[in-house]
A and B are shown apart, each in its own frame.
Chain A
Amino acid sequence: MKTILLSGNTSLSYAVKQLDVDVISAYPITPQTTMVEKLSEYVANGELNAEFIPVESEHSALTAALAASAAGARVFTSTSSQGLLLMHEILFITAAMRMPVVMGIADRAVSAPINIWNDHSDIMAQRDAGWICFFAESAQEAYDKTIQSYRVAEDENVHLPVNLNFDGFILTHTYEPVTTLDDEEVLKYAPKKIRSLVLDPKSPYTFGALGSPEYYFEAKYQAVKALEDSFDAIVKADKEYKKISGRGYGIFNAYMTDDADTILVSLGSIGGSVREIVRRMRRDGAKVGSLSLKLFRPFPAKQIVDTLLKTKSVVVLEKATSPGAISGPLHMEIQASLKTFDVTIPAINIIAGLGGREIGPEDIRIMFNKGLKVASQKRVDTIMDYVGVNI
């Protein structure tokens, strides 16, 4: 166990090296580029004995990863923004074919206008592809979650692809001391597993066959059910990881939620800033709390509702929008979760930080104050609101 200075990008590269990945196929895109650069360096200097495939597009990057996974290899790929959108069709195929591919996503806005900075528009546009979907708050968490991702993806009760989201630039390019495990510990925690259904010339199987109406529904249902059922393996992997590293994250970080009048739900790196504002506002007597989600798919609806149960209002902060919809993707999910479990708490939606627009301490105070106002009024005037945009 040693502590080294790593950026979000290089923390993933370092974990992937320790996980002894067999095949890496990736195409560089800002802000993910330095991660792939580091991996190609590891392969070139012999630190990692892997096949590095410099493909011509992200469509091919994921296709090659999927095919290598079908052959039984441990694989890694990563992308961002437009690259993730170019992977769109293969994302669905990877999940339905039950391939344990692990992908890092350096979350970035989607064009137009061209923008290389952080928001969550890229992953939210792909959320129905059938992947397990994690969000990290720090480079340390990105490192830890990469290792956990392989353990979960390759679990014989799961066999699904996992994507690990970490915010572009905010995490990818900032350096922090990251406490790493020893190589042996990593492979002991996440050993490579032999799957029975792999491409093998001695025992040929058909992968990716046509599923006519007589077969498609059941095949699709199987993959959907696998994602629902992966929840226990995800929780267990985190607990086991805590035993060896001392670090566990749970499915979300709930901070000062027990007696909160309003709870702000967020995804990704903003969680730390939100908790800091909770501390400051608590000093002034405002009863506010934070719930930072680590797991987005499968969506932990029951657990979220249990945590929100006693609060008077909910603020869902998200860095993505769903044009023409009643609210943003995360808010819709939270709202539906509350309703499903018959809990009536007003929940408002704040869209902020699109295209890398800074979300400052004052912005977060504004969001909490909106939540406190709803809590005292017991009603919602505007479901969806934008903070930080000059209208």
Chain B
Amino acid sequence: MPKKVSEIDEGFVLKTPLSSMQTKTGSWRAFRAVIDYNKCITCGICWSLCPEPAIYLKDNKYTVDYDYCKGCGICAQECPVKAISMVRESD
């Protein structure tokens, strides 16, 4: 349920930091970025270019956070070893 008008601060000022985390933009996705760890060289280019950012380093592996990945495909385009493929969500 959206908030009521009276519950929104004047001028849509947000008093709580990181409120954008509440909007799970992953639902907007048509294609999902999938990393092939046999090819990945852990260079970090996908991490540095993800505009969300929805790629983070976990146990020395770059991992996609599907709660926020919008499926833009920049990581797949820029990966120097073509380790990232864009997979249609319905597949």
Residues of A in contact with B (beta carbons under 8 Å apart): 96-99, 159, 197, 204-207, 209-212, 214-215, 217-219, 221-223, 225
Contacts and interface: CB of A to CB of B under 8 A. Distances in A.
Q: How large is the interface on B (under 10, 10 to 19, 20 to 34, 35 or more residues)?
A: 10 to 19
Contacts of B4: 218
**6 interchain residue pairs of minimum CB distance:** A98-B11, A206-B14, A219-B12, A97-B11, A197-B13, A218-B5
7 contacts: A99-B11, A159-B11, A205-B13, A206-B13, A210-B20, A214-B2, A221-B5
Nearest to B14: A206
Nearest to A216: B12
Contacts of B36: none
Contacts of A159: 10-11
Nearest to A206: B14
A204 B17 contact: yes
B28 to A, nearest CB: 10
Contacts of A204: 17
Contacts of A97: 11-12
B15 interface: yes
A219 B5 CA distance: 7
Interface of B: 2-5, 8-15, 17, 19-20, 23
A332 B64 CA distance: 55
A255 B15 CA distance: 50
Contact of A217 (B2, B11, B14, B17): B2
B23 A98 contact: no
Contact of B8 (A99, A207, A218): A218
A225 B5 contact: yes
Given A218-B2, A225-B5, A212 B23 contact: yes
B11 A218 contact: no
Contacts of B11: 96-99, 159, 197, 207, 219, 223
Contacts of B15: 205
A297 B89 CA distance: 49
A215 B12 contact: yes
A218 B3 contact: yes
Of B11, B15, B19, the most chain A CB neighbours within 10 A belong to B11
Contacts of A223: 11
